[in-house]
Amino acid sequence: MPQVEVVALEKTYPPPPFAWLRGRRARPRPALRGLSFHVDAGEVVALIGPNGAGKSTLLRILCGLLLPEGGHARVAGLDVVEGRPEVRRHVGAALSDDRGLSPRLTPRQNLRFFAALYDVPSHEVDPRIEELARMLEAQPLMDREVRTLSSGEKARVVLMRAMLHQPRVLLLDEVTRSLDPGAARRVRTRVLGEAAARGTAVLFASHDLEEVRAVAARVVLLDQGRIAAQGRYADVHPAAQALFALAEAPA
């Protein structure tokens, strides 16, 4: 059964107000143009595409942090617009450039705080935090202030926050970007291992084609808000390589 279902999804950002006063073009900016795909329970699907392809926009819509203009999206069977705020209970998200941890608190204090927001039963909070800390090799970090952590260490805590309430859908936006390659591989294996064991649907955005090849059952390739290709990695790979080569070519 699909845990994420996206049908003809459209998103256009309006121009900033009074853009012409600042010498900018006042045109709406289409970000998603009629996307349709799904992610089943326990399935891992990768979103790839060059910068500005619409990956982060799509993930934010699925988290209930952006409104689509057309089509619809359902998460855990709930419409992401009509089913709010309940739909957010089923989503765990680690978005790019996430700075949402209180720097003066420890990871443990931050996670206890978010556990209360997501109604994790009190007696389950500390054992769950310990379990996640073990899984993500974060035990030595748990009682240090967040402001003293490196970006890779913070990324682990953000990932723990996303998984804390055992969501049915996990949305990850380049979450292992700041980890060293070895740690990234181990974290990925463990996170996806737990997701598979619990039947969690995982949709992750990445620029790392090696990572995508290693873990994704299916791949959705985005280009300028459209799906350029989708299917198994081997099927999508030629189109992805061509697209990335085009994006890297000098103008």
Partner 1 sequence: MRRLLAFLRRDLQVATAYRLNALLLATGGLFTLTLFYFLARAVGQPAALQGRYGGDYYSFTLVGLATATLLRSLQRGFGEAVRAAQNDGSLEPLLAAPLPTVQVVTLMAAGPVAASLVRAGILLFAGTLLFGARLSLNPLGFAVTLILSVVSFGALGLLSAAFVLVFKRGDPFAYALDMASYLFAGVLYPPDVLPPTLHALARLLPATHALHGLRAAALKGAGIPELLSTWGVLLAFSAVLWPLAAFALAAARRHVERTGTLPHS
Site for partner 1 in 189-228 (CB under 8 A): none
103 counts as binding partner 1 under rule CB under 8 A: yes
Residue choice 114, 177, 190, 239 for contact with partner 1 (CB under 8 A): 114
Whose tokens are 């608190």? That residue is 105
134 counts as binding partner 1 under rule CB under 8 A: no
CB 60 within 8 A of CB 95: yes
88 counts as binding partner 1 under rule CB under 8 A: yes
How would you list the strands of the sheet with 78-79, edge to edge?
A: 29-40, 2-13, 70-75, 78-79
Q: How large is the angle between the packed helices 122-135 and 181-198, nearest 10 degrees?
A: 140
Residue choice 39, 48, 63, 201 for contact with partner 1 (CB under 8 A): 63
Residue choice 100, 199, 231, 238 for contact with partner 1 (CB under 8 A): 100
Q: How far is the CB of 250 from partner 1 (least distance, A)?
A: 29
Whose tokens are 């682990």? That residue is 156
Residue choice 38, 40, 42, 112 for contact with partner 1 (CB under 8 A): 112
77 counts as binding partner 1 under rule CB under 8 A: no
Q: Which residues contact 199 (CB under 8 A, 6 or more apart)?
A: 41, 42, 168
Strands 2-13, 70-75: pairing is: antiparallel
150 counts as binding partner 1 under rule CB under 8 A: no
Written as six digits, the tokens of 216 are: 């994704």
Q: What is the DSSP string of 181-203?
A: HHHHHHHHHHHHHHHHHHT-EEE
Q: How far is the CB of 199 from partner 1 (least distance, A)?
A: 20
Beta bridge partner(s), residue 202: 44, 170
Residue choice 1, 19, 20, 102 for contact with partner 1 (CB under 8 A): 102
104 counts as binding partner 1 under rule CB under 8 A: yes
- Residue type, position 67, single letter: L
Stretch that binds partner 1, among 19-27, 89-97, 128-136, 197-205 (CB under 8 A): 89-97
Q: Which residues of the shown chain bind partner 1 in the complex (CB under 8 A)?
A: 13-14, 16, 31, 57, 60, 63-67, 85-89, 91, 93, 95, 97-105, 109, 112-114, 116-119, 122, 161
